[in-house]
Amino acid sequence: MFPFYTLQNIQSAARLSPPARLAVFGDPVGHSLSPQMHNPALAACGIEASYVRLQVKTEEFLPALRALRELRFIGANVTIPHKFTALDSVDEVGPAARRLGAVNTILFRPDGTTLGRNSDGPGFVRTIQEEFQAEVRDLRILLLGAGGGAGGAVAVQSALEGCRQLVLTNRTESKARTLAATLGDLLPGDRCRTLPWTAEALAQALPDIDLIINGTSLGMSPDDPPLLPAGCLTKDHLVYDMVYKPLVTPLIATALAAGAKAINGLPMLLWQGAQSFEWWFERPAPVDAMRAGLNAAVSSAAR
């Protein structure tokens, strides 16, 4: 766990050198790697500001937001459990965040108002571009874990990009159907459909899939069951496991053994962070500095 501030002592963060001007809201928040990613970015750009963790309870979120505004903060990130609270706490919500129903990036504007956006979707698109040299709009996508959260953000962004096909599956199939129903206007006909989470259904669907995404937490424990039936992955598949602890999950190991390209969740953490940075400062993010900071933090945590 890393150091964090609270509503009671956040004013002391503004007296840091350089002063805190960015934060991540969460509860808990001590695990967040965002400061290790954003502080190198601020230094690389010569911006006199620090990025800190802020642990607040749900009932403290709005007072904390007001406190940051009074302390002349530039922006903030929002993580569990505050992404939905943030949606109702900011003055304006961006269209993608509104559709998703969650805010993970807040901008404090010069006129004193706050804008809530969601960088998960754009971060996903940039991850696919940078790691797979592919465009989401060209892909047939299978999302494992379509009940909401990060998986929901990926589904919404895939639909907004106009992907060739989006297949949603979830342990509780009704949640996948609910999500699919909200995307029908973006992907009409059978371009967005649900699938039972069974070995037979997955084995039948996978030959017609380009990109497989794990939006669940399965794979974090060695005792977790396999996500896919054995022998279904090929060298033509792209596999994106949103889990990054461990760095090589069972799904990634299986994909690599089959000759497929596979990545973990760290690139999306990087690219959604880069998107937030670009919204705050209206300039390209120093991605190399952010990547180096993130990799150093992960390596340190692994020791």
67-108 confidence digits (pLDDT tens): 999 999 999 999 989 999 999 999 999 998 998 889 999 999
> Is residue 48 one of the residues assigned to a domain?
yes
| Least confident interval from 90-104, 131-145, 199-213 | 90-104
Indicate whether 138 and 21 sit together in one domain.
no
Indicate whether 20 and 111 sit together in one domain.
yes
Does the annotation count 83 as an active-site position?
A: yes
Indicate whether 259 and 128 sit together in one domain.
yes
The CATH number assigned to the domain holding 58 equals: 3.40.50.10860
pLDDT at residue 130, as a whole number = 97
Indicate whether 295 and 241 sit together in one domain.
no
Query: Residue written as tokens 């299986």?
Result: 254
> Is residue 287 one of the residues assigned to a domain?
yes
Indicate whether 196 and 246 sit together in one domain.
yes
Give the three-class secondary structure for 229. Answer: coil
> Is residue 113 one of the residues assigned to a domain?
yes
Indicate whether 183 and 65 sit together in one domain.
no
> Is residue 1 one of the residues assigned to a domain?
no
Cα distance between residue 221 and residue 241, in whole Å: 14
Domains contained in the chain, number: 2
Cα distance between residue 74 and residue 76, in whole Å: 7
Q: At residue 13, what are phi and psi to the nearest 5 degrees?
A: -65, -30
Indicate whether 127 and 221 sit together in one domain.
yes
**Domain residue limits at 95:** 10-118+272-302
Q: Which position has the higher pLDDT, 151 or 4?
A: 4
pLDDT at residue 301, as a whole number = 74
Indicate whether 94 and 214 sit together in one domain.
no
> Is residue 176 one of the residues assigned to a domain?
yes
pTM: 0.91
Token reading at 273: 């962070």
Indicate whether 133 and 250 sit together in one domain.
yes
> Is residue 5 one of the residues assigned to a domain?
no
Token reading at 79: 């993580």
Cβ–Cβ < 8 Å for 64, 10: yes
Indicate whether 151 and 87 sit together in one domain.
no
pLDDT at 1 over 60: no
User: b vs e for 195-228, b when ≥16 Cβ sit within 10 Å of the residue's Cβ?
Assistant: bebeeeebeebbeebbbbbbbbebbeeeeeeebb
> Is residue 3 one of the residues assigned to a domain?
no
pLDDT of 18-42, one tens digit each? 999 999 999 999 989 999 999 999 9
Q: What angle do CA 298, 241, 221 make, to 5 degrees?
A: 70
pLDDT of 235-264, one tens digit each? 999 999 999 889 999 999 999 999 999 999
Indicate whether 112 and 209 sit together in one domain.
no
Which residue among 57, 83, 235, 245 is the active-site one? Answer: 83
pLDDT at residue 222, as a whole number = 83
Indicate whether 87 and 108 sit together in one domain.
yes
The CATH number assigned to the domain holding 208 equals: 3.40.50.720
